[in-house]
Amino acid sequence: MARYSRTEGTIALITLSNPPVNALGAAVRRTITDIMHRALTDGEVKAVVLCGENGTFCAGADIREFGKPPSGPALVPLIHDMEASEKPVVAAIEGVALGGGLEIALGCHYRIAHAKARLGFPEVMLGLIPGAGGSQRLPRLIGIPAALELITTGRLVSAQEALKLGIVDQVVDGNTIETAVKFALNVIGRPLLSRRLSERTPAFSVDAAAVLEEGMARVKQRARGAFAPVVCVQALRAAATLPYSRGMETEEQLINTLIDSSQARALQYCFFAQRNARKWSLPSGARWNNSKPRAVHRVGVVGLGTMGRGITVSLVKAGISVVAVEMEEKQMDLGMRAVLGMLERDAQRRGDTRPPTHLLTFTLSLQQLGNVDLVIEAVFEDMALKKCLFTELCNVCKPSTLLCTNTSGLDVDALAVVTHRRSLVVGMHFFAPANVMKLLEVVCGPHSSAEAVATAMTLGKRLGKVGVVVGNCPGFVGNRMMKLYLDQAYFLLEEGAAPEQVDQVLEEFGFTMGIFKVSDLSGLDVGWRVRKASGLIGPDVNPKTPSRWRQGCRYSPLPDLLCEQGHLGQKSGRGWYLYETPGGKEPKPDPAMHRFLQEYRSRYGLTPRHVHAHEVIERCTYAMANEGFRILEEGIAARAEDIDVIYVFGYGWPRHRGGPMFHAAQVGLATVLQRLEHYHQLHPDVPHLQPSPLLQRLVEAGSPPVHHWREHVQHLHSYL
Ligand code: 3H9
């Protein structure tokens, strides 16, 4: 938990010892409180050095303790006693000093950091504020503007930036603890008053008032309904306007408003869900911790459209050599320019002189892929084309090369069977723009080997992605659920809503962008092509089939009608919204769209009605969650948490609402079930609104918490 030792005769060395990150659980707090008291009262000890074991200072409070009844001593009095001491206390920071870890360091009189250390207050990402004096001490050390930026965003800073800001006193390349001990010996006997941050008054100028006001406006605009960033500004306002002791009282009141909030629970759930997603397993017993990934030095990317370009940029930025293949010279030229432009802009942003273009080879010949370790296919969503390509890749690539497809929903197994290396085929489904979006669905089928899955997940990690292993079915997890979300949105338009009304409700709920804006951004033709390929529209449809009916259920031809008119979204200047020019980014409600919807409704005899905001949310989010339960039942996702990670990192789902499955749990599964029954009764032609068997069983079982849902899955056709 924490160790006490003496060094150089007069220095007490306190080492936090709670692997893996020295989180400040109750037992750790108890031990440090005891041994700090011992050090501060021992007459032979003249100074204290506080450090962490295994190269990590401290990652803050133990997040697993949140939501449980409080136990053990609090952090605030410990930090207060340490700061009030007449013996200098020096923090030796290696690895990270985060949250409560940085709060302890700020209670020390001096801070020495290793050059590779990172510091920060990420509490806002967990729905909290720095609640052990951090919101009051940091602004007293670095001023209101800098503290505001760090605390409201949760951004971590490097040791060098921390030195510039004044958070640390010295940065060392060598042995941090030895340097801190020497430093402590040097400062014994020096006056400590000016080193006690609680004794300082932050300079509160008119400027700071304006900074706080602007900061509040900015966080409200960006927070998408999250409370914690707003409360962070309130805590900083207290630091700026109140004496320290009253500021601390306010900090305590403010953190108490957050600590048990549903948002804090959702954000902390996301923290662990993201980490658990790495812990995949396959029915064979292969797991993340017993499967060895292959080394990947050189990757082939086939297809330099939007996805291929983003994937290439991601790989090169991670220091991986790429052979990028295009079939046509013109496309190659366009793709090459786009990739080089993205890398150039990225290098400029990071202040690098040259982008790593030496890692890139552009070619028109597949033959150049003979020596790559892994190929990512990113050609059009055309199964016949992909099958030809995979057959060809088998002839060209060395036998050990992994063949990955970036398909967003086509059958990965059907591709695997055309190769002689089925076990080496997996899906690597990136999200546009692939160099920005964090999510990576790693799609494995019955043939995929543990080695292939491990390699794809490890490569994803190197690219800074959040990888989630999913099973193979049309649309996998993300797009399969998205289809039902989109269907509900179209039906709501048919029933009387306008695109901007649906979007506004979804954005107020917290989505980064409303569904119709997203659709305009990605281009309506993407879904059009998929619907054509799956036989929902086109020559294969029996001409007697009613326009609003397909494959035995209600269908909305609205997006098809827009595509037929050439209204493809931003790229054509018109879609669900109107744009100033083709390629314009600013969506405006379109009076012609309203007329079009009116005509459409009267053509089909639909009487428009007022659609309430709560209906938009319920129909969109419960339809998604309902499909999520089916996905769990089929073993396409291993855990509800994985589905939520996919939605938070790939589809703009508000993190402070945890994801569609967690949201359903928070609303109450019985309520979700009852609302789905209600909507299904009203719309019996929409079978997906019929509550899934798993949801019904969970409600019968008393709505257990999310991490117990798996026990109720009947594993009928399990993949994962
Ligand atoms: C706080 O301090 C509130 C205060 O203001 C006081 C209020 C009164 N607790 O991420 P990794 C686990 S709020 C418990 O995979 P990395 C993590 O789950 C706290 N567990 O490694 C994982 O477990 P497992 C503010 C924690 O190297 C393992 O450690 N602090 C904690 O990629 C390894 O983690 C934060 O928000 C924790 N605090 O990144 C810091 N931290 O192996 C949160 C980690 O079973 N932590 N674990 O999956 C991080 O940002 C990253 O974990 C860190 C390491 C950068 C430290």
Whole-complex ipTM: 0.98
Q: Whose CA is nearest to atom 33 of ligand 1?
A: 20
**Across 540-555, average pLDDT:** 91
Residue 718 has pLDDT above 70, yes or no: no
User: Is the preceding omega at residue 433 within 30 degrees of 0, hence cis?
Assistant: yes
Point out the ligand 1 atom lying closest to the alpha carbon of residue 126.
36
Pairing of strands 157-158, 118-120: antiparallel
Cα 211 from chain centre: 29
Mean pLDDT of the 374-390 span: 94
CB atoms within 10 A of CB 496: 15
- Please provide the average confidence, as pLDDT, over all residues in the chain: 95
Q: What pLDDT digit, counting tens, does each position of 430-478 carry?
A: 998 999 999 999 999 889 999 999 999 999 999 999 999 999 999 999 9
Looking at the CA of residue 125, tell me the nearest atom of ligand 1: 36
Query: Which pLDDT belongs to residue 118?
Result: 98
pLDDT of residue 446: 87
Q: Which of 57-61, 93-97, 240-244 has the lowest mean pLDDT?
A: 240-244
Q: How confident is the model at residue 381 (pLDDT cuts 50, 70, 90)?
A: confident
pLDDT-derived band at 715 (thresholds 50, 70, 90) equals low
Q: How do the residues of the chain divide into helix, strand and coil, expressed in percent and rounded to 5?
A: 50, 15, 35
Site to substitute for ligand 1 among 58, 63, 137, 274, most atoms within 8 A of C-beta: 63
Mean pLDDT, residues 323-350: 94
Q: How far is the CA of 61 from the centre of ligand 1 (A)?
A: 8
110 pLDDT above the threshold of 60? yes
* Least confident interval from 433-437, 646-650, 660-664, 711-715: 711-715
Mean pLDDT of 138-156: 96
Instruction: State the distance from the centre of ligand 1 to the C-alpha of 497, rounded, in angstroms.
Output: 44
Mutate to test the pocket of ligand 1, among 21, 58, 65 (most ligand atoms within 8 A of CB): 21
CA dist., res. 489 & res. 204, Å (int)? 49
CATH 3.90.226.10 intervals, the chain: 2-258
| CA-closest residue to ligand 1 atom 9 | 62
pLDDT band at 719 (very low <50, low <70, confident <90, very high): low
CA of 393 to the centre of ligand 1 (A): 42
For residue 97, how far is its CA from the centre of ligand 1 (angstroms)? Answer: 11
Distance between Cα 155 and ligand 1 center (Å): 14
Q: How far apart, in whole angstroms, are the C-alpha atoms of residue 443 and residue 407?
A: 10
Q: What is the pLDDT of residue 207?
A: 81
Q: What is the DSSP letter of 401?
A: -
Residue 247 sits at the vertex; the CA angle it makes with 190 and 155, to the nearest 5 degrees, is: 80
* Cα 63 to ligand 1 centre (Å): 7
**pLDDT score, position 208:** 82
- Give the H or E element holding residue 489: helix 478-495
CA distance 293 to 450: 8
Q: What is the whole-number distance in angstroms between the Cα of residue 176 and the centre of ligand 1?
A: 22
Banded pLDDT at 25 (limits 50, 70, 90): very high
CA 30, chain centre distance (Å):
34
Average pLDDT of span 555-574: 96
> With contact defined as beta carbons under 8 Å apart, do 43 and 8 qualify?
no
Give the residue range(s) of CATH 1.10.1040.10 domains in the chain. Answer: 497-603
Side-by-side strand order, sheet with 11-16: 2-7, 11-16, 47-52, 89-93, 110-114, 170-172
Lowest mean pLDDT among 352-361, 515-524, 636-645, 702-711: 352-361
Q: What is the pLDDT of residues 113-128, one digit of tens each?
A: 999 999 999 999 999 9
At residue 384, the pLDDT reads 92
Query: Hey, whose CA ends up nearest to atom 16 of ligand 1?
Result: 21
pLDDT digits (tens, 9 = 90+) for 409-438: 899 999 999 998 999 999 999 998 999 999
691/281 Cα distance (integer angstroms): 28
Phi-psi region of 429 (alpha: psi -120 to 50; beta: other; left: phi over 0): beta
Q: How far is the CA of 276 from the centre of ligand 1 (A)?
A: 13
Prediction pTM value: 0.94
Which residues of the chain form CATH 3.40.50.720? Answer: 298-476
Nearest-CA residue for atom 23 of ligand 1? 275
**Closest residue by CA, ligand 1 atom 24:** 275
* Mean pLDDT along residues 655-676: 98
Closest ligand 1 atom, CA of 61? 2
Residues 632 and 716: their CA atoms lie apart, in Å, by: 10
What are 209-256's pLDDT values in tens digits? 899 999 999 999 998 999 999 999 999 999 999 999 999 999 999 999
- The protein residue whose alpha carbon is closest to atom 10 in ligand 1 is 275
The per-residue pLDDT for 203 is 65
pLDDT value of residue 500: 98
**CB of 640 within 8 A of CB of 530?**
no
Residues 6+ apart with CB under 8 A from 353: 347
Label residue 668 by pLDDT band (50, 70, 90): very high
| Cα gap 432→448, rounded to integer Å | 25
508 is catalytic: no
Domain 497-603 has CATH 1.10.1040.10: yes
The Å distance, Cα 121 to ligand 1 centre, comes to: 12
Q: H or E element: which one contains 171?
A: strand 170-172
Q: Which atom of ligand 1 approaches the CA of 76 most closely? A: 8
**Residue 353: pLDDT over 90:** no
Cα–Cα distance for residue pair 33/55, rounded to 1 Å: 22
For residue 463, the model assigns a pLDDT of 98
Nearest CA to ligand 1 atom 15: 275
pLDDT tier for residue 8 given thresholds of 50, 70 and 90: confident
Residue closest via CA to ligand 1's atom 56 equals 59
- Per-residue pLDDT, averaged over 299-317, amounts to 96
Give residue ranges with CB within 6 A of ligand 1: 20-21, 23, 59-64, 75, 96, 98-100, 103, 122-123, 126, 128, 130-132, 134, 272, 275
Burial class of residue 91 in the structure, from the number of CB atoms within 10 Å of its CB (0-12 exposed, 13-18 middle, 19+ buried)? buried
Nearest alpha-carbon partner for 172 in 119, 112, 96: 112
Please tell me the residue having the least CA distance from ligand 1 atom 36. 122
**How many whole angstroms from 572 Cα to the centroid of ligand 1?**
46
Q: Which of 123, 377, 495, 641 is catalytic?
A: 123
Residue 64 alpha carbon to ligand 1 centre in Å: 9
Atom number, ligand 1, closest to the C-alpha of residue 272: 18
575 Cβ contact list (under 8 Å, min separation 6): 516, 519, 520, 524, 562, 567, 568, 569
Q: Which residue carries 């001491």 as its tokens?
A: 85
Residue located via tokens 């406006």: 217
**Domain 298-476 CATH class label:** alpha beta
Catalytic residue, chosen from 103, 251, 326, 495, is 103
Give the pLDDT score at 540.
Answer: 86
Q: Which fold has domain 2-258?
A: 2-enoyl-CoA Hydratase; Chain A, domain 1 (3.90.226)
Name every residue whose Cβ is closer than 8 Å to that of residue 279 and which is 6 or more positions away in sequence. Answer: 287, 288, 289
Cα 630–chain centre separation: 24
- Catalytic residue status for 123: yes
Which amino acid residue places its CA nearest to atom 43 of ligand 1? 59
Ligand 1 atom having least distance to the Cα of 60: 2
Please state the rounded mean pLDDT for residues 561-583. Answer: 96
- Ligand 1: nearest atom to the Cα of 62: 9
- Residue 204 pLDDT greater than 70, yes or no: no
Residue bearing the CA closest to ligand 1, atom 51 = 59
